[in-house]
Amino acid sequence: MTAGGEEPAVREVVIVGAGGMGRAWMDVVEARPGLRASAVVDLDLSAARSAAAERGWDVPVFTDAAEALRDAPADLLLNVTVPEAHRVVSEAALRAGVPVLSEKPVTPSVADAMRLAALSEACGVLLATSQSRRHSPGISAFRDAVRSLGGAGQLEAQFFQNPRFGGFRDVMPSPLLIDMAIHQFDQARFLLGSEPESVYCEEFSPPWSWYRGAAAAQAIFRFSDGARFGYAGSWCADGLTTSWNGSWRASAPGGSATWDGEGAVQVEGPGETAQDLPVGGGSEGLDAALTEFLTALDGGDPPSGEIRRNIRSLAMVEAAVESAASGVRVELDAVFARAGAAALAEARASGEMQIADRLSAWAGGPPR
């Protein structure tokens, strides 16, 4: 906002994280009228420098987001660091009064996300996650098809891929559940339009896996409207891979619908012949997530990734990991209760009463 209260003609963007995804975001910023990069930040200064130079940007580079926010103009911050750095970077921006669009997962833990949700509310500054895979013409067409059949009672996603990333995913615990499955879990919430309540999950390491952590999982979620969502995934599945959006099937009162994550949506009712439904065009992925975010900054609806809404996708991940470790079904309410207590204890211990007051009212998770 300018001093007069109008929206700025050009919004200055601080981009934190100049790895693979940070560079993808830089291209999105560059292509968007009304946005201008004002600084690039990375612990690895040479990565920040080369990313800026490749785009011909004459902007300062920093190793620390808080320092960049002190020295460079900022109307919004893109947090594209590794998950472990998300909390500290987003927190620095919120405290500086700068809205944040963060890559998923908004933080690695629900406790940290609850803390950030409370801080965002206390500061009155927007924090949203980009869940790029809920934004595509294909998933919207599939959701419309499922709705037209009366809503899914049973939803299945298969995700089988075989990337050789190197880097943090190869050495982290539960790489599939923590770094990837959040996409399909969030897509399931988008498709079902109700909220997850519990999960039973097993994760494991196929003998041929090249990851240190478990790279395969199967999970069954129960949603508040009684729907079941089944997930089967692997990140070490060579051959016959699914699309990166996953391969989907919904069973509904009026029939069934499928979507392979890339092409047509198919529907078939009782006694009918299966038909392909057209998938329209339109903005998707990062670009669509950015549009939602900017719309909110312009006074429009909150984005679908606003942290208090997005936190339920993160809670699905945490509950699945907990179920896999304990061997029992996990209720999401229990995840929120424990995470909220941990976040509250931290806020009280550090005398952050504005955060503590909110957290003490959020036993079942933050309000949506």
Ligand X SMILES: NC(=O)c1ccc[n+]([C@@H]2O[C@H](COP(=O)([O-])OP(=O)(O)OC[C@H]3O[C@@H](n4cnc5c(N)ncnc54)[C@H](O)[C@@H]3O)[C@@H](O)[C@H]2O)c1
In DSSP notation, 78-91 reads: EE-S-HHHHHHHHH
**Per-residue tokens: 295:** 């719309």
Calpha distance 325→184 (Å, rounded): 20
Question: Which of 108, 365 has the CB closer to ligand X?
Answer: 108
| Spatial separation of the C-alpha atoms in residues 338 and 356, rounded to whole Å | 15
**Which CB atom, from 170 or from 322, has the smaller least distance to ligand X?**
170
Rounded least distance, CB 116 to ligand X, Å:
14
Q: Which is nearer to ligand X, 19 or 153 (CB)?
A: 19
The whole-angstrom separation of Cα 260 and Cα 203 is: 23
From 29, 26, 250, 96, select the one nearest 158 (Cα to Cα). 250
Nearest approach, Cβ of 85 to ligand X (angstroms)? 3
Is the separation of the CB atoms in 256 and 239 below 8 Å? no
Closest approach of Cβ 330 to ligand X, in Å?
A: 23
- The minimum distance between CB 159 and ligand X, in angstroms, equals 13
DSSP 8-state assignment for residue 360: H
Residue closest to ligand X when measured from CB atoms: 19
CB-nearer residue toward ligand X: 171 or 363: 171
- What would the DSSP string read from start to end of 284-295? -HHHHHHHHHHH
Shortest gap between Cβ of 193 and ligand X (angstroms)?
22
Q: Strands 216-223, 228-234: parallel, antiparallel or unpaired by DSSP?
A: antiparallel
Question: In this complex, which beta carbon is closest to ligand X, that of residue 149 or of residue 307?
Answer: 307
Find the shortest distance in angstroms from Cβ 63 to ligand X: 7
> In sequence order, what E strands does 45-173 have?
61-62, 76-79, 100-103, 127-130, 154-160
For ligand X, which is the closer residue by CB, 63 or 350? Answer: 63
> Which amino acid type is present at position 368?
R
State in angstroms the smallest separation of the CB of 80 from ligand X.
Answer: 5
Using DSSP's 3-state secondary structure scheme, residue 255 falls into strand
Residue with Cβ nearer ligand X (20 or 173):
20
Residues within the interface to ligand X (CB under 6 A): 16-22, 41-44, 47, 65, 80-83, 85, 89, 103-104, 132, 167-168, 179
Q: How many CB atoms lie within 10 A of CB 363?
A: 12
**Helix, strand, coil abundance in the chain, percent, nearest 5:** 40, 20, 35
Min CB(355)–ligand X separation in Å: 21
Structure tokens at 255: 């029939």
- Closest CB to ligand X among residues 133, 358: 133
Q: How far is CA 178 from the centre of its chain?
A: 11
Identify which of residues 79 and 120 has a Cβ nearer to ligand X in the complex. 79
Question: Closest distance between ligand X and the C-beta of residue 307, in Å?
Answer: 15
Return d(Cα 30, Cα 55) in angstroms, integer: 8
Q: How far is the CB of 139 from ligand X (least distance, A)?
A: 14
Q: Which is nearer to ligand X, 167 or 280 (CB)?
A: 167
